[in-house]
Structure 1
Amino acid sequence: MSIRQVAALSEAQLVELTTLFQDLWWTPGRQLDGVRIAVENSSLVIGLVDDAAGDRLIGFCRVLTDYVYRAMLHDVVVDPAYRGQQLGRRLMDAVIEHPRLQNVDTITLACSADMIPFYRQFDFDQQESEIFTLRRKKIA
């Protein structure tokens, strides 16, 4: 298996990403047009593709950042058929080592409790403070 990293997605890979999102608890209902807009407006996109499977998208994450103070990591996902092959680690290493993120003060992410140990190995710490995450959903 030959896996390579890409910084942009083809239309076919956007379709594959949309399909991957359908099975995740935090992304159900995402549609291709919205996924395309989100990817196009991300500061950094990191995809992993399997050359042997026709450039199939098998891993993905994206970053929104000002390149100085804050970066927010979003949508870290590995295709279930490819899990257990250290691809999540490869995505995280690509983010942490990315040249454009080297001067960013803080990289932040949100995850479920069961994923905290995974992210801790990359020096992400759970913050317990008087700062809370607040969300405002789109009003229909």
Structure 2
Amino acid sequence: MELEYRFNECCSVKDVQEVYIKSGIRRPVGDTVRIQKMIDHADEIITARDGDKIVGFLRAITDYSYCCYISDIAVDKSYQGLGIGKQLIKMLRDRLGDEEIQYILTSAPKAVGFYEKIGFERADKAFVIKRMIN
């Protein structure tokens, strides 16, 4: 198996919904309009592909100078443990740099250890206004 990583290449709502479902990440997979908006308004998207199948997906919002919010990192469960999530983050950091940009994300409880292992630090001063519609 040889994975191919691609930057900002168009991907279908169906492909993104499938990787969300297969990764276990909680996203509004039944709302195709909302998923399309999520794709359309991302500043950076990186995909990991096994042939034509997207097996890893990173979506980020950034100002390219001060901060980058990593909105999604989803890896198909059957491909987890192969370093795909780590590679997606590395590629984003290589593309945007580390000197000026701070990377921010929120983690699912099960993924906290993964992020700590690859160099993220916990932040205790984050605040959230939760969305009214899930």
Q: Same fold (TM over 0.5)?
A: yes
Change over 3 Å in CA distance of 1:25–1:83 after alignment to 2: closer
Structure 2 equivalent of residue 9 of structure 1: 10
Q: Return 5+ residue gaps in structure 2 as ranges.
A: none
Distance of 2:54 and 2:40 partners within structure 1: 16
Instruction: Work out the percentage of aligned pairs sharing the same amino acid.
Output: 18
Change over 3 Å in CA distance of 1:119–1:64 after alignment to 2: same
Q: Which amino acid aligns with 1:109?
A: L
Distance of 1:29 and 1:49 partners within structure 2: 20
Q: Return 5+ residue gaps in structure 1 as ranges.
A: none
Q: Shift in Å at residue 78 of structure 1?
A: 0.5
Cα RMSD of the aligned pairs, angstroms, is 2.1
Distance of 2:42 and 2:93 partners within structure 1: 16
Pick aligned residue for 1:135 from 124, 129, 133: 129
Structure 2 equivalent of residue 111 of structure 1: 107
After TM superposition, where is structure 1 displaced by more than 6 Å over at least 4 residues in a row? none
Structure 2 equivalent of residue 45 of structure 1: 45
Distance of 1:84 and 1:127 partners within structure 2: 25
Residue 35 of structure 2 corresponds to residue 35 of structure 1 = yes
Distance of 2:86 and 2:58 partners within structure 1: 12
Distance of 1:28 and 1:135 partners within structure 2: 18
Residue 64 of structure 2 corresponds to residue 70 of structure 1 = no
Distance of 1:25 and 1:58 partners within structure 2: 13
Q: Shift in Å at residue 70 of structure 1?
A: 1.4
Stretch deviating more after TM superposition (65-74 or 114-123): 114-123
Q: Which amino acid aligns with 2:74?
A: V
Q: Which amino acid aligns with 1:15?
A: K
Calculate the TM-score normalised by the size of structure 1: 0.80
Report if aligned partners of 1:18, 1:31 keep a CA contact under 8 Å in 2: no
Between structure 1 and structure 2, the one with the greater Rg is: 1
Calculate the TM-score normalised by the size of structure 2: 0.83
Residue 12 of structure 2 corresponds to residue 18 of structure 1 = no
Distance of 1:136 and 1:111 partners within structure 2: 15
Change over 3 Å in CA distance of 1:49–1:25 after alignment to 2: closer
Q: Shift in Å at residue 94 of structure 1?
A: 1.3
Aligned residues: 131
